[in-house]
Structure 1
Amino acid sequence: MQKSQVYVAYSSEFSKSSVATLVSLLGSHEGLGQYNFFGYDNSEISSYDRISLSPFVVAEVSHVSMGVGIELGWADAIGKRIFAFYRSDVDIPQSVTHLRNVKLIPYSDVAEIPKLLSQSVYTVK
């Protein structure tokens, strides 16, 4: 069975090592085995096209980012479910709170995100 490709949106403030850790953790979580997670990679395929092909979008929104805002706006406009994670010690960017298809999920440590996502994917339709 082919895995569904899931786009992960994040700010450049979210370090490359944190992105790599998050994508690795998501990909290895038992409850998310049917998905393949990836972020922006400068390929010839646009992030809009990748979002269009994703069953849902995962976003780390602890930092204000115009690029992430644009990507989440696209996802929201085409009806994609958005799971937006933010550190529990920061204020959520206002632009994210106005999206129709978003579920905001606080976390304390990046390692918590896969479990939180797994629980959310199967409880929200």
Structure 2
Amino acid sequence: RRIRLPRVDTDVLGVPVGLVFFVPRADGTVTAEGPSPAGAMRWEVDAEAWQRLAAACPPLASVEPDVEALLVNTVHGNDHHWIVPVDDCYRMVAVVRREWRGLSGGGRIWPAVDRFFEDLTERT
């Protein structure tokens, strides 16, 4: 399932990037992963902070552990918040790896990310 959400205040999860996905795990932990030229970077998220966020945004409470994720893009003024299969998140990581050039990503990276989110919108 792919569900576009209104803005979700992910700042409470303590992840300092604007292109990231949050995966609740079956053991109760939550990881945040963000794309980089080397693949996905991973952070541990405070599980209690995730539970508070899920209580404030009921669709998050139904995210299937290890299968679905909250995908967020707030880079360059975007405001995308989605519940998607984890596979979609790793497709986004692949887009970033494929299009990244130089130290800052180059001119191809952000148009490619924008197309990725446009595709999500069309498929929903």
Q: What is the TM-score normalised by the length of structure 1?
A: 0.31
When normalised by structure 2's length, the TM-score is 0.31
- Which structure has the highest strand share of the two? 2
Q: Rg larger in 1 or in 2?
A: 2
